[in-house]
Amino acid sequence: MRRNECLPIGIGLVAVALWAAAHLQSQELSSKAWLSREEVTDLLHGFSVRLPQGWGPPKVHENFICINDDRALCFVVLRVARYDGNLHRVAQSWWLERQAMASGFGQPRFAFKKLPQGILIVGEGLGYPFVFHPMMSVNFGLMGQTPPSNYREVTLILPGKATALVVTLLLPAGAEKAKLDEMLNIVRSFRFLPKEKLVSWRQQTIYDPEVGMEAGWIHVPERFEYRGAIIRQGRKRLPALFLRKGDMMIRLDNIDLESSVLKTRFGGNAMTVLTINGKSSRQPQPILLRSARDVARLVLGIWQAETGEQWELKEQLELPKSAMNAMEELRMKQELAQSGAVFRRAVQGGLIKLAISAQNGSLVRQAFIFGSLVLSQQPDPIAASQDCSVNIIVHMFQFPRDRSEEARGIFTGITNSIQLSPRFALSALEGWLRDNQELNRMVMQMLSEEREFNSRMARTWTNALSDQTYVKDPETSEIFRVHKRVWETGEFWRDPVWGDILGGIERGSELERLLREEGWRPLKQSLEGFPE
């Protein structure tokens, strides 16, 4: 099958998400236009498609392209197989692959039918197709969910001149008919692009130097400069990516902001640390963000410091949060409420998910921003404090305004190709859990020390108000509670033979000298006692 043939069958992509390309318009810079545009084009991998709302982003693998709906857990998969005129041989290869996939999932059932157009295969009783979305093996665990255990499959094998097109639809057995209709519409809208429109590319590694492993892969267009690696930022290990050719650039930045302000009657103090891709810098003024719009302004300020040019915000759009985002935000708010109660602070926060468009002359920057914003404060008449913590990932696209269509097709291909290994995700999660356990241990130790301190202070005040204190014999380690007013300064001494205790002995006095000569020994004093 020639790549420039127009087939009314196929797969698709939606280029909007943290890991997807922006919808770029040549004449319109509206954020809504990026998100509402249904037909998108991948110039690297040579196809275009129209998608319903909620589908994407697609992932381009070595031998197939997969697009899925994360909410409905449905899949559209397309691949090209070698074809020598024997369509049954292609079906046999498919069957061997399915047998391997179905291992451990009970007894799946399949039916085959020869059609004038090709071979139709229908299956049921299948397990969740992790082979098409490996990261879900991690995500299901993080979300505390169990994947559907009964999938249906419809596969159509269509012959071409030199290749066969294999289109597969996978959906849970209880999925609505409307979802199947959406999948069929995706297939019908697929088109291969003519070869002259394609952009050649090379595969590059996203390397994790901390553990010495390949964390993922990305397809880089020819003549594009590329830098990509997993970086350490605080307790996190995250990918940082940079691709550029002239004024066309795509970048994935990790940005953390920690700002604290302390105000007293005698003045105040502030400290702000900004960290970008593992590199930290002190800021001269406090930066207290309170909303998603403030976060957008922070990103624009960073761009201005980077380029020395002013970037004008054209539009900002709140993005819908996925089911996993909602669960993450709920868990985050529960943890913030607990920490606020423990540290007696007013704490509020949540997830940030937005798209922005900005312009500087003929250059346009569009970005997807995802992360968290946490604010806390402790009102106090003597010393009041405020804290702000921002942790965001910024997926930024830069291009000349008059080349937006070309940039859109290239950026779509790049982001469609990004693959992170489940091994890396598990390794990063294991490291995060290890660091988090150490942090929890430190917090618990701090709370234990605080409780002990409060207990000792309460005991100290109780003894001071009741004119009592504790004394300890350094030789026998015996502890006694004795009478003493807080303003009295004398020491306590003990008879080594009879154990009598005598108080009010002033240091350097004649009585102290006589007691020492008789073998009496001084006792240690403490209002709070002598805890073990």
What pLDDT is stored for residue 291 in this prediction? 93
pLDDT one-digit tens code per residue, 21-72: 222 222 233 445 455 456 789 999 999 988 888 787 778 887 889 988 877 7
Q: Read off the pLDDT of residues 404-430 as tens digits, 9 standing for 90 and up.
A: 999 999 999 999 999 887 776 666 666
Global confidence as pTM: 0.71
Nearby residues of 8 by Cβ (< 8 Å), 6 or more positions away: 188, 190
pLDDT category at 104 given cuts 50, 70, 90 is low
Confidence class for position 119, pLDDT limits 50, 70, 90: very high
Query: Any idea where the domains of the chain sit in the sequence?
Result: 31-197, 239-422, 430-461, 466-526
Higher-scoring residue by pLDDT: 122, 71: 122
Each as own residue / partner, the long-range contacts of residues 29-37 (CB below 8 Å, 24 or more positions apart, any chain) are 29/314, 29/315, 29/357, 29/359, 29/364, 30/315, 30/357, 31/315, 31/316, 31/317, 31/355, 31/356, 31/357, 31/366, 32/315, 32/317, 34/355, 34/357, 34/366, 35/317, 35/319, 35/355
CB 302 within 8 A of CB 392: no
* Secondary structure (3-state) at 523: coil
DSSP-assigned beta bridge partners for residue 353: 370
How far the first Cα of the chain sits from its last, in Å, is 82
Relative orientation angle of helices 136-143 and 323-343, to the nearest 10 degrees? 40
CA–CA gap between residue 126 and residue 128 (Å, rounded) = 7
Q: Which of 57-61, 242-246, 392-396, 410-414 has the lowest mean pLDDT?
A: 57-61
Q: How many CA atoms lie within 13 A of 302 on its CB side?
A: 22
The whole-chain average pLDDT of the chain stands at 82
- Residue 109 confidence (pLDDT): 86
pLDDT tens-digit readout, 464-512: 677 788 888 888 888 888 888 767 778 899 988 888 888 878 888 888 8
Which pLDDT score is estimated for 428?
Answer: 66
pLDDT in tens, 316-327: 999 888 777 887
H/E element holding 455?
helix 422-465
- CATH 3.40.1000 assigned to domain 31-197? The reply is yes
Q: How many residues does the chain have?
A: 532
Confidence at residue 431, expressed as pLDDT on a 0 to 100 scale: 66
- Measured from the Cβ of residue 376, the count of other Cβ atoms closer than 10 Å reads 19
DSSP-derived secondary structure letter, 67: E
